[in-house]
Amino acid sequence: MNRIGVSAADGKRLLHEITCRVQRGTAIGVTGESGSGKTTLLKATMGVLGKECTLDSGNMILDGCDLAALAAVDRRKVAGKSIGFIPQLPMTAFDARLRIGSQIQAVFRKRLGLNRLDAAQLAQSKLRQVQLSEVERVMRSRPGELSGGMLQRVALAILFGLNPPYMLADEPTAALDPDNREAVIQLLLAFKQTSGLLIVSHDVEVLERICDQVHVLYNGEFVEQGTMKQLLDQPRHIWTSQFARSVAQQEKGYWLWEKSKYQS
């Protein structure tokens, strides 16, 4: 449960006391134009706003615990075990110098307390679960030797191993080819069976197939919500109306909406 306000260092309000409730077994989507505050929402939830932003009001309740009240070191422990994160650019989630296998095993050993052998076996099992059949090659590879779609699935394999109760995803299907995109959608649906998902996306198919409710974020505020179909069929806000018209023109049902003249 989030109810938070965030301000920039210059005092500009980035998020205006927005409320979002995510429960296990459900998925909540967030969409909106560039600069509306979507990434700020994810960073605030993860506790990685940085010095340029301040969480200045509200709270973030995770299974009865207010994350905003925790010290930074305790917040990182919670984030590592209870909140998983799927990045938009999976390359940024890995150390380019190290082999994929060693990085996965390091996470499992630190977070799950496994020995080296058990961590390696779990890594192989989860890579197969995300449909990466050449497990040994993937384990030996460095990040630069794998495609973006494969790295996204490696990131998902790690999360399947950690099995956090809540998951944040930042444009998880952006720039993926059709096969990898469909694979990631299926994996997100699998996560939804046991975890609560908060998905930031412009991908209409992701929002429609996975999310129970979608919030439209505009200038740091939620301006409307509903299922993706409801938002497209009966938009109330001007941004959503423009978005719906744009989607209708796209054969693939995907549209990346840039900052528009309607944003003040």
Tally of residues, the chain: 264
Query: What contacts 58, CB < 8 A, 6 or more positions away?
Result: 2, 3, 4, 5, 17, 68
Ranges of each domain in the chain: 2-248
Which pLDDT belongs to residue 250?
Answer: 66
Positions in the chain whose pLDDT score sits under 70: 1-2, 80, 250-264
Domain 2-248 has CATH 3.40.720.10: no
Maximum separation of any 2 CA atoms in the chain, in Å = 56
Cite the DSSP H helix spans in 130-168: 135-140, 148-162
Closest CA to 172 of 49, 90, 250, 254: 90
pLDDT at 1: 55
Beta strands in the chain (DSSP E): 2-8, 13-20, 27-31, 53-62, 65-66, 83-86, 166-170, 196-200, 213-218, 221-226
pLDDT tens readout for residues 56-96: 877 788 888 888 788 777 877 777 678 999 888 888 889 99
Q: What is the pLDDT at residue 66? A: 82
CB atoms within 10 A of CB 246: 13
pLDDT of residue 251: 45
Q: What is the pTM of this model?
A: 0.86
- pLDDT (tens digit per residue) in 220-251: 999 999 999 999 999 999 999 988 888 877 64
pLDDT at residue 255 in the model? 44
